[in-house]
Amino acid sequence: DGGITQSPKYLFRKEGQNVTLSCEQNLNHDAMYWYRQDPGQGLRLIYYSQIVNDFQKGDIAEGYSVSREKKESFPLTVTSAQKNPTAFYLCASSSDSFMNTEAFFGQGTRLTVV
């Protein structure tokens, strides 16, 4: 089945720790995205990548980092610089820009600071 796989489903982070969220897609899509979802704030764009080895900051990139070494994979690292990381993280992909094509989302990773 084609789709987007995010792992793990739940992740717990201690203060000062970096953690990495995985996102893999087998849709052969060029573009991949990371969104953060908080209650009452909707979805906000963290980073996006239109092609391998290239990525751009979104609206709330501070405290996050990404890499795009393979077309299928777009991992997100939540660094210790992110002061309020507890949220639901969603990875998405599209074959072209959002102006032309549909966006597909993964099942999400819930990150909690302990």
Partner 1 sequence: KQEVTQIPAALSVPEGENLVLNCSFTDSAIYNLQWFRQDPGKGLTSLLLIQSSQREQTSGRLNASLDKSSGRSTLYIAASQPGDSATYLCAVPSGAQKLVFGQGTRLTINP
Q: Which residues bind partner 1 (CB under 8 A)?
A: 4, 6, 31, 33, 40, 42-43, 45, 48, 50, 56, 58-59, 90, 92, 97-108, 110
Nearer to partner 1, 43 or 113 (CB): 43
Work out how close the CB of 16 gets to partner 1 at its nearest, in angstroms, rounded to a whole number.
27
Work out how close the CB of 72 gets to partner 1 at its nearest, in angstroms, rounded to a whole number.
18
Residue 105 CB burial class (10 angstroms; 0-12, 13-18, ≥19)? middle
Residue 43 CB burial class (10 angstroms; 0-12, 13-18, ≥19)? middle
What are 14's two structure tokens? 């201690």
- Name 18's Cβ contacts closer than 8 Å, sequence gap at least 6: 77, 78, 79, 80
Nearer to partner 1, 22 or 80 (CB): 22
Work out how close the CB of 97 gets to partner 1 at its nearest, in angstroms, rounded to a whole number.
4
- CA 12, 17, 22: angle at the middle one, nearest 5? 60
Nearer to partner 1, 63 or 108 (CB): 108
Work out how close the CB of 80 gets to partner 1 at its nearest, in angstroms, rounded to a whole number.
26
